[in-house]
Structure 1
Amino acid sequence: MPETPLNFPLGHSGAALIVRTAAELGTIVREQRRELKLRQIDLAGIGNTGNRLIVDIEKGKPTVQVQKVLDVLDLLGLELVVRQKASRSL
């Protein structure tokens, strides 16, 4: 599956993306890391974690521990917001 840039503006607090899969979240993490000009090993070092965690998150591995993902999001200046789904017309 080809990567498509998300155009997620670095530090733009008004931007929001709906994430429904671990792979989508991994893409966001990768894009933000690249925007910050960090290598995976750099991010792992900053977060005092293993490089494998960063690789797993970016690959969309669904079994990564939630707290570890939240910690990486925080390091990248991102946050997770949970809201009720918008209702759909049938």
Structure 2
Amino acid sequence: MEEKLPHRNGGDFPIAVSRMEDIGSLIQQVRKSQGMTQLDIAGLGGVGNRFIVDLEKGKKTVQMQKAMDILALLGLEVVIRKKGKS
């Protein structure tokens, strides 16, 4: 059963994202729903606070592996599939 998490599209997970801004917004919403600050998640993820700020703003040049690590810390994962498939 899929867990319902807050995101601006208002739907259930999984959701499709196509922009870093979408990923950043989702990370911010999930982080806040878990009661964590940017400093909390930065410390847990072994990254600087600036990285979290940039990630949540959707900066296109953030390091992908670090972003994946932060997603995992929040209990999220990336699934790649062909567009239009469920």
Instruction: Return the TM-score normalized by structure 1.
Output: 0.80
Query: 61, 72, 75: which is aligned to 1:74?
Result: 72
C-alpha displacement of 1:5? 3.2
Can you give the 5+ residue segments of structure 1 that lack an aligned partner in the other structure?
A: 10-14
Rg (Cα) greater in structure: 1
Query: Could you say which residue in structure 2 is the equivalent of 1:62?
Result: 60
Letter paired with 1:5: R
Percentage identity across paired residues of the two chains: 42
Query: Could you say which residue in structure 2 is the equivalent of 1:36?
Result: 34
Letter paired with 2:57: K
Can you give the 5+ residue segments of structure 2 that lack an aligned partner in the other structure?
A: 1-6
> What number of residue pairs does the alignment pair up?
79
Instruction: Return the TM-score normalized by structure 2.
Output: 0.84
Q: Runs (4+) of structure 1 moved beyond 2 Å?
A: 4-9
